Amino acid sequence: MEYHLISQGRLFTGAKEKECIVMIQRITKLSEEQVRKTLLNGRPRKLFSSDDRAKVEKFSQAYRKAGLDVRIKKGS
């Protein structure tokens, strides 16, 4: 079974935007502008897929710690 890590397109309520963007940049290696346009645009987006649930969970925790609202979705 495949697992998908989905960004909800927003930060958690109360998250400090500048600090969160810096942490997200460390994970993704994207520029600040790219983070804003692709991950913080208010639209859900698939970030990562794997058959390894533990690997997806690890990425999920890293993104959540960085303040990004993400969900894990089971695929087929």
Give the tens place of pLDDT for each residue, 4-26: 999 999 999 999 999 999 999 99
HEC-encoded secondary structure of the chain: CCEEEEEEEEECCCCCHHHHHHHHHHHHCCCHHHHHHHCCCCCCEEEEEECCHHHHHHHHHHHHHCCEEEEEEECC
Instruction: Enter the pTM of the model.
Output: 0.92
**For residue 71, which of 46, 54, 53, 52 has the smallest C-alpha distance?**
46
Give residue 76's pLDDT. 64
Average pLDDT value for the chain? 96
Average pLDDT of 41-63?
96
Average pLDDT of 45-55?
95
**For residue 71, which of 1, 10, 15 has the smallest C-alpha distance?**
10
